Structure 1
């Protein structure tokens, strides 16, 4: 008689353990909901599993709770793991409540929304379908916003800056080629 009762109630306990563990592992905190109520609910599932002779170790219980938190607690999770903090579940609940208060003080992070739409002006006519604008090399070198009476510091002519000055660029190019040729000559002399 006792054996039959054990078999009947063990089957029910197994089903209850299955449902409780399923609820525990699928539990996920929604963004903006209070962390206290969420963690208390999960602690209730963990205690129910203990009563059904299926206790979870503290580290596993902590990991399950941390995995179920909303994305806004990612920084807390990172700090918790980096500092290798070992706390009991009530202590973890207290830390999470404090973190939630600090998150509310800081406020939400602003996100820049990028909208792909129609472009205006000359760049719209030259743009490709992939969102990149088409420019040739000469156009990219032209400075924008130069006054007509502004002069180049190198040649003294108007309409460009020193970094775009044709004579300055030729001189820089000649200097580079002479440096390369002298370094090659010195390498040849060193090898002989």
Structure 2
């Protein structure tokens, strides 16, 4: 799976490979099939994989596909929100980033500075 590609076609392709192996006589249990599909995902799905394994979910491959599609949709919404927030802050320029004005209430005392002996 490459960065920027959709997860749905990739998982469907992986399920097809697993079904071909079953036709050829190499039958895998569901847990191994899940592990193969999840290992083929991008690093951006690492949090999903961690949650999936920690919760010990008993799902089928089609249910895994549905969960991954939902996760991908949420990830794209989150990225869109980040892009909008970043673009919103760019138009302000450097206001308020000039020289720091001295605070008249705070005066440094010469006694505060420790001099080497």
Q: If the length of structure 2 is used for normalisation, what is the TM-score?
A: 0.70
Aligned residue in 2 for 1:42: 14
Structure 1: tracts of 5 or more residues without a match: 1-28, 111-143, 153-160, 171-192
Residues 75 and 151 (structure 1), Cα distance of their counterparts in 2 relative to 1, 3 Å cut: closer
Displacement of 1:84: 1.5
Displacement of 1:32: 1.2
Displacement of 1:103: 0.8
Q: If the length of structure 1 is used for normalisation, what is the TM-score?
A: 0.45
The 2-side partners of 1:151 and 1:99 are apart by: 52
The 2-side partners of 1:104 and 1:150 are apart by: 49
Displacement of 1:76: 1.0
2:36 aligned residue (40, 47, 64): 64
Aligned residue in 1 for 2:75: 103
1:76 aligned residue (24, 38, 48): 48
Aligned residue in 2 for 1:88: 60
Whose RCO is larger (CA < 8 A, sep 6+)?
A: 2
What's the C-alpha RMSD, in Å, of the aligned pairs? 2.5
Note if contact 1:31-1:71 (Cα within 8 Å) is conserved in structure 2.
no
Structure 2: tracts of 5 or more residues without a match: 84-99
